Amino acid sequence: MRDFDERLSISAKNYADALIKIVLDGIMSYNEVYDDLTTVQDILDMAPELFDVLKNPIVAFDTKIDIINEIFTKEIHKPIVNFLKILVEKKRFEEFSKIYAAYVKKLNKINNIQPVIVTSAIALTDEQKKGIALKLEEKLKKQVQPRWNIDNGIIAGLVIKINDDVIDTSLKNKIDKISKDLLLR
């Protein structure tokens, strides 16, 4: 599942709650909603002009509905197609990505999943990645969903980002701390 690191609006969270209600009402499963939202996001990412048209207040409502029917009806379930139409009707389509992010965040909480970003100076072996993920799962008591990055600027060690918290064991960080200590003396 995708990880999103952005501030979410109250309306995005409310729309995500509406998507959760679709699941709680037995209409679709969590994963079906996730897959459909991912499909929509992927299409919007591939065709940014489509996103521009659907959020544009000058484009007629009926035209937007026709576009949604034409593009999405064969790709996603009807309740999510209708959800997209509601976003257009309420002039909230520009918030789709944030709504998607809010849904993913709620789904991760429901499934006890914690996305983390792990940055290392060099590529880690599969064994090292597995060991790091296991230690994080033990510490967090959650299933960890790591995203692995490489940044040779950290020199050595790891930088682990969990929500807004950062665990920085990099050599660059240690050198920076020593430099600051020396300047303060």
- Whether 1 has a pLDDT exceeding 60, the answer reads no
The domain segmentation of the chain, as residue ranges, is 10-109, 112-184
- Average pLDDT on 132-154 reads 93
> What confidence category does residue 138 fall into, taking pLDDT thresholds of 50, 70 and 90?
very high
Determine the pLDDT at residue 7: 67
> What confidence category does residue 125 fall into, taking pLDDT thresholds of 50, 70 and 90?
very high
Determine the pLDDT at residue 4: 46
Which residues sit opposite 166 in a β-bridge?
Answer: 161
pLDDT over 70 for what percent of the chain? 96
The closest alpha carbon to 147, from 157, 162, 137, 135, belongs to 162
- Whether 136 has a pLDDT exceeding 80, the answer reads yes
d(C-alpha 21, C-alpha 106), whole Å: 12
How far apart, in Å, are the Cα atoms of 111 and each of 81, 107, 149? 25, 6, 24
d(C-alpha 182, C-alpha 185), whole Å: 5
- Whether 2 has a pLDDT exceeding 70, the answer reads no
Please count the CA atoms within 13 angstroms of the CA of 169 that sit on its side-chain side: 6
Angle (CA) 101-6-131 rounded to 5° is: 80
How far apart, in Å, are the Cα atoms of 11 and each of 23, 29, 150? 19, 22, 35
Quote the tokens at residue 13.
Answer: 């969270």
- Average pLDDT on 2-16 reads 73
The answer to whether the CB of 92 falls within 8 A of the CB of 57 is no
d(C-alpha 40, C-alpha 38), whole Å: 5
The closest alpha carbon to 137, from 110, 112, 105, belongs to 112
Tens of pLDDT, residue by residue over 20-78, are 999 999 999 999 999 999 999 999 999 999 999 999 999 999 999 999 999 999 999 99
Determine the pLDDT at residue 3: 43
d(C-alpha 177, C-alpha 124), whole Å: 25
- Average pLDDT on 128-138 reads 95
Tens of pLDDT, residue by residue over 68-107, are 999 999 999 999 999 999 999 999 999 999 999 999 999 9
- Average pLDDT on 114-122 reads 92
Q: Does domain 10-109 have CATH number 1.10.520?
A: yes
Q: Which amino acid type is present at position 162?
A: I
Determine the pLDDT at residue 5: 41
